[in-house]
Amino acid sequence: MKLEIFLIVFIRHVFAEDNFTINFIDSFIRNEGKPTILIYTGLCWGKYEEVKLAKVLSRSGIRCSSSTHRSSPIQDQHILFLTDLDCPGADDVLNDAMSTNLFQFPFRWLILTSVGADITNSTLWYSPILTDSDLVLAARSGDYITMTELHKPSMNHSMQSAPRGFHNGTFSDTRPHRELYRRRKDLMGTPIIMSNVIQDSNDSKEHIENESRLDLHNDAVVKGCWMVAKHSYEMLNATRRHIYSYRWGYKVNGQWSGMIADIKNNKATFATNCVTFPERLEVITYTDMVAPMRMRFVFRQPPLAYTCNIYSLPFSASVWVTIVGCSVAAVLALFFTSTWEVIMEKNPTQLDGTISDALLLTLSAVAQQGCFIEPRRAPGRIIEWFFFAALMALYAAYSANIVVLLQAPSNSIRTLAQLAASKITLGAADV
Ligand SMILES: *[C@@H]1O[C@H](CO)[C@@H](O)[C@H](O)[C@H]1NC(C)=O
Ligand SMILES: *[C@@H]1O[C@H](CO)[C@@H](O)[C@H](O)[C@H]1NC(C)=O
Ligand SMILES: *[C@@H]1O[C@H](CO)[C@@H](O)[C@H](O)[C@H]1NC(C)=O
Ligand SMILES: *[C@@H]1O[C@H](CO)[C@@H](O)[C@H](O)[C@H]1NC(C)=O
Ligand SMILES: *[C@@H]1O[C@H](CO)[C@@H](O)[C@H](O)[C@H]1NC(C)=O
Ligand SMILES: *[C@@H]1O[C@H](CO)[C@@H](O)[C@H](O)[C@H]1NC(C)=O
Ligand SMILES: *[C@@H]1O[C@H](CO)[C@@H](O)[C@H](O)[C@H]1NC(C)=O
């Protein structure tokens, strides 16, 4: 009889306790205000309690499951793991989590324990619960649960704890900020490695380390990035470490090279800003641009003679047509005057009144040469004089223009298509 009463009291006590814990879990998840899938593992509560937990949570619209199998990582940010350190299976759960990196972002953890249990020598204490981990330890004593957040700035640091709130029937959240990143701003001197790309001069390494601001034209992007990164180091209270590579990094035969390989192989945490390629997105995440960046061609304009025929350029087409027209007019005029001159007199050095002599004199004027036959009378000489004088002026203008055009650059290349179609050879160095 005594034993029965004791059992009944014991069972009622255990049930009442679990009711309190279940309510706490429910309040905890609702307080987070995030879509949540609860995965409970390593609990030794018994089926009845687990069903009750699922019932209470489903009333709040929270899914829960006891299977840790995840088919895809799409919903990882919704997952909250729940385990109870007082249960014998807890160590296995923590070891599993350690080997499959479940403590890191974006998973969340709620770990139950009881006040007085020494956890400083437990598996939990040696787990890689790093800065991005969101892990809450809930210690229960009677009807009071104290919540503590645990994390380590690095594996070499001891576990840091911060109060998160308490539950005494009503849930109370005492976090200074709800955002995780605002609560994890002090890395306590943890070294963070930055990969820098040195291409212009190996002296840049020393200039970056010493921040001496010398030779700013060498490796300007790297130095600019460091000036920005430096503020992040100060904000995070982290220790700077640099490694250097000589290439940005491309994927060749499935292997990454240079700076991208440093990040991929965990030699560095972050690196100099580099051009966004879709392929690189598999390996790295881009921050905002440190400086505005655009693709540009820098090339010297080729001389004009290289791109077009400069012999026809000094005069416009209408001037060339007019010159031809005037020449024809001069031939005809000389022809008419010479036929008249032949009637007046005959002389060996005068035009003989045929069109061929008129043409000969005109062409010698076009070529700026003299000719042994010439008009003897005033009308023909006036024509000859004007024609020679006009052509001389045109020659002077033509020669002056050619000299200017020979030195002029061409501005005919204005678009990429024109550049591609031009006779210029292009070279590129991709490092
Ligand atoms: C358990 O909690 C529910 C509210 O979720 C309450 O209605 C019920 O009375 C509690 N049971 C015990 C045994 O305290
Ligand atoms: C920590 O645990 C190990 C075994 O797991 C034990 O040998 C050691 O004595 C414990 N240390 C302390 C300080 O309790
Ligand atoms: C941790 O400390 C060990 C020895 O003190 C050192 O070799 C190791 O580099 C440190 N690890 C980190 C991440 O600082
Ligand atoms: C829980 O704690 C709050 C704040 O300290 C207090 O106001 C409230 O009365 C407590 N509730 C119970 C049931 O003890
Ligand atoms: C930065 O980290 C060092 C080393 O752990 C610590 O002593 C110092 O208080 C931290 N500074 C700030 C502002 O948190
Ligand atoms: C810098 O040093 C490395 C290794 O010693 C060398 O491969 C690289 O060519 C050097 N770069 C310059 C710009 O001198
Ligand atoms: C950079 O600092 C180191 C150590 O502080 C010093 O030995 C070196 O001469 C400095 N370099 C320059 C270019 O100032």
Model confidence pLDDT, tens digit, residues 82-91: 999 988 888 9
Q: Of the ranges 295-304, 322-331, 340-349, which is most confident? A: 322-331
Residue 274 maps to which CATH number? Answer: 3.40.190.10
Average pLDDT over residues 393-415: 88
Round to whole Å and give the CA distance between 32 and 102. Answer: 19
Residue 269 lies in a domain: yes
Portion of the chain with pLDDT greater than 70, in percent: 95
Q: Are 274 and 216 part of one and the same domain?
A: yes
Q: How confident is the model at residue 399 (pLDDT cuts 50, 70, 90)?
A: very high
Residue 301 lies in a domain: no
Q: Are 8 and 145 part of one and the same domain?
A: yes
Residue 207 lies in a domain: yes
The confidence score (pLDDT) of residue 15 equals: 46
Q: How confident is the model at residue 330 (pLDDT cuts 50, 70, 90)?
A: very high
Ligand (nearest to CA of 201): 6
Residue 65 maps to which CATH number? Answer: 3.40.50.2300
Residue of the nearest CA to atom 7 in ligand 5?
188
Among 266, 282, 298, give the residue marking a domain's end.
282
Q: Which conformational region is residue 121 in: left (phi greater than 0), alpha (psi within -120 to 50 degrees), or beta?
A: alpha
Residue of the nearest CA to atom 10 in ligand 4?
168
User: What distance in angstroms lies between residue 120's CA and the mean position of ligand 2's atoms?
Assistant: 10
Q: How confident is the model at residue 275 (pLDDT cuts 50, 70, 90)?
A: confident
Residue 424 lies in a domain: no
Q: Are 140 and 196 part of one and the same domain?
A: no
Residue 412 lies in a domain: no
Ligand (nearest to CA of 128): 3
Structural domain range at position 82: 2-182
The confidence score (pLDDT) of residue 430 equals: 67
* DSSP character at residue 288: -
Model confidence pLDDT, tens digit, residues 192-225: 999 999 988 999 999 999 988 888 888 888 998 9
Q: Are 108 and 217 part of one and the same domain?
A: no
Residue 345 maps to which CATH number? Answer: 1.10.287
Round to whole Å and give the CA distance between 78 and 37. Answer: 6
User: What distance in angstroms lies between residue 206's CA and the mean position of ligand 7's atoms?
Assistant: 7
Q: For ligand 7, say whether the CB of 212 is within 6 Å of any of its atoms.
A: yes
Q: How confident is the model at residue 16 (pLDDT cuts 50, 70, 90)?
A: very low
The confidence score (pLDDT) of residue 4 equals: 53
pLDDT exceeds 60 at position 290: yes
User: What distance in angstroms lies between residue 164's CA and the mean position of ligand 4's atoms?
Assistant: 16
HSE-CB at 223 with a 13 A cutoff on CA atoms is 22
State the pTM of this model: 0.68
User: What distance in angstroms lies between residue 41's CA and the mean position of ligand 1's atoms?
Assistant: 24
User: What distance in angstroms lies between residue 91's CA and the mean position of ligand 2's atoms?
Assistant: 15
DSSP conformation letters of 180-219? HHHH----TT-EEEEEEE--S-THHHHHHHHT---STTTT
Q: How confident is the model at residue 95 (pLDDT cuts 50, 70, 90)?
A: very high
The confidence score (pLDDT) of residue 407 equals: 86
Residue of the nearest CA to atom 1 in ligand 3?
156
Residue to probe by mutation, ligand 4, list 24, 143, 147, 170, most atoms within 8 Å of CB:
170
Q: Are 338 and 277 part of one and the same domain?
A: no
Residue 380 lies in a domain: yes
Q: Are 352 and 399 part of one and the same domain?
A: yes
* Domains contained in the chain, number: 3
Under DSSP, is residue 239 helix (H, G, I), strand (E, B) or coil?
Answer: strand
Among 282, 316, 351, give the residue marking a domain's end.
282
Q: Are 16 and 131 part of one and the same domain?
A: yes
Q: How confident is the model at residue 281 (pLDDT cuts 50, 70, 90)?
A: very high
Portion of the chain with pLDDT greater than 90, in percent: 48
Average pLDDT over residues 280-306: 83
Residue to probe by mutation, ligand 1, list 19, 52, 53, most atoms within 8 Å of CB:
19
CB atoms within 10 A of CB 10: 10
Type of residue found at 274: C
Q: Are 221 and 360 part of one and the same domain?
A: no
Contact (Cβ atoms closer than 8 angstroms) between residue 22 and residue 84: no
199 CA closest ligand 6 atom index: 13
User: What distance in angstroms lies between residue 156's CA and the mean position of ligand 3's atoms?
Assistant: 6
The confidence score (pLDDT) of residue 13 equals: 44
Q: Are 124 and 7 part of one and the same domain?
A: yes
Please give the structure tokens belonging to residue 389: 């004088």
Among 148, 165, 182, give the residue marking a domain's end.
182
Contact (Cβ atoms closer than 8 angstroms) between residue 49 and residue 163: no
Q: For ligand 7, say whether the CB of 206 is within 6 Å of any of its atoms.
A: yes
Under DSSP, is residue 114 helix (H, G, I), strand (E, B) or coil?
Answer: strand
Q: For ligand 3, say whether the CB of 191 is within 6 Å of any of its atoms.
A: yes
Average pLDDT over residues 46-72: 88
Q: Are 220 and 148 part of one and the same domain?
A: no
Residue 422 lies in a domain: no
Residue 115 lies in a domain: yes
Residue of the nearest CA to atom 1 in ligand 4?
168
Q: Are 149 and 195 part of one and the same domain?
A: no
26 CA closest ligand 1 atom index: 5
* DSSP character at residue 409: B
Round to whole Å and give the CA distance between 173 and 112. Answer: 17
Please give the structure tokens belonging to residue 196: 């820098």
169 CA closest ligand 4 atom index: 13
User: What distance in angstroms lies between residue 28's CA and the mean position of ligand 1's atoms?
Assistant: 17
Q: Are 215 and 353 part of one and the same domain?
A: no
Residue with tokens 């970056």: 208
